[in-house]
Each structure stands twice: as C-alpha cells, then as structure tokens.
C-alpha cells in the first residue's frame, strides 16, 4: 500500500537526518534537539524553561536535562527572574551565541543534501504538502 511506503519513507528520512545531524553536532558538543533549544534562545534570549518546553513541544524534565547539559558545556546559564524568584530564565553565554553560525551551516548543508535534484516548483509543492501534514498533526 502507498501509505506503508509513505510511512517507511518518512521513517527513513527522519532516521537518516537524525543520524547525520548527530554526527555533525557532536563536533560542537551538542546532541540532536539541543540546537533547537539554542535556536529559540538566539531568537529570544532569556526564555523560561516552561516557555522553552512549550516552544519545543517537549516535556519539562527533558528541557531541564538539555539545559543542564548545555550549562555544563558553558553554552547557557540559568538566572532567577528578577521579578519572580521562583522562575528561572535561560540565557546564552558568548560560547552559546557563537554556535549560531556553525549550526545554521549544518542545517543548510543538510537541507541542501535533502533537496538535491528537487526543482524549485517541486519544492513549493513539497512545502505545501509538508505544511498540510504538520497542520494535520496539530
């Protein structure tokens, strides 16, 4: 059935991209998923862990573990919110900010590899279909 083939292709693409990302990110002491957390902070530094959890659609304990790991590598620091001491905010360090460009290069390299041989008009169709699939899951 075509549905089986689609599922298998989605699984294969996901697994291979994750494997490739893992290998490329390892050079920067990052694990898959941590670059997404950093990306959120590059756009909006000082987010709370709850905001990160909601933004990344991850459970709070997962975010806590990611933040601890990133903190241990010197990429982020946690600071108490000056207005609400119960809230912890996550801030990039200079080392964390310096990862933005290399991580974006990794993303672009992977996207170029993935889209090789796909014409511009096919990319537009692919984007529309993927957006529909993402919306179907929401």
CATH number of domain containing 80: 1.10.10.10
Q: What averages of pLDDT result for each successive group of 10 residues across the chain (138 residues)?
A: 93 94 93 94 95 95 96 97 90 96 92 96 96 93
Structural domain includes residue 38:
yes
- Is 110:21 a contact under the CB 8 Å cutoff? yes
pLDDT of residue 99: 95
Structural domain includes residue 27:
no
pLDDT of residue 85: 85
Report how far residue 73's alpha carbon sits from residue 89's, in angstroms, rounded to the nearest whole number: 17
Q: Which residues contact 123 (CB under 8 A, 6 or more apart)?
A: 115
Domain that holds residue 99: 33-137
Structural domain includes residue 28:
no
pLDDT of residue 97: 95
Report how far residue 37's alpha carbon sits from residue 79's, in angstroms, rounded to the nearest whole number: 16
Instruction: Report the predicted TM-score, pTM, of the whole model to 2 decimal places.
Output: 0.83
pLDDT of residue 84: 87
């Amino acid at each position: 059935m075509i549905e089986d083939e689609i599922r298998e292709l989605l699984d294969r693409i996901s697994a291979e991209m994750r494997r490739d990302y893992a290998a490329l990110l390892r050079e920067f002491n990052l694990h898959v998923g941590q670059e997404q957390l950093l990306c959120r902070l590059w756009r909006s530094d000082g987010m709370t862990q709850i905001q990160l959890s909601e933004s990344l659609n991850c459970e709070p304990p997962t975010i806590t573990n990611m933040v601890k790991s990133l903190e241990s590598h010197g990429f982020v620091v946690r600071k108490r919110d000056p207005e609400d001491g119960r809230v912890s905010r996550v801030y990039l360090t200079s080392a964390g900010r310096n990862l933005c460009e290399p991580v974006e290069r990794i993303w672009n390299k992977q996207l170029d590899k993935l889209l090789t041989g796909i014409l511009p008009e096919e990319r537009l169709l692919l984007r529309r279909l993927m957006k529909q699939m993402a919306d179907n899951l929401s």
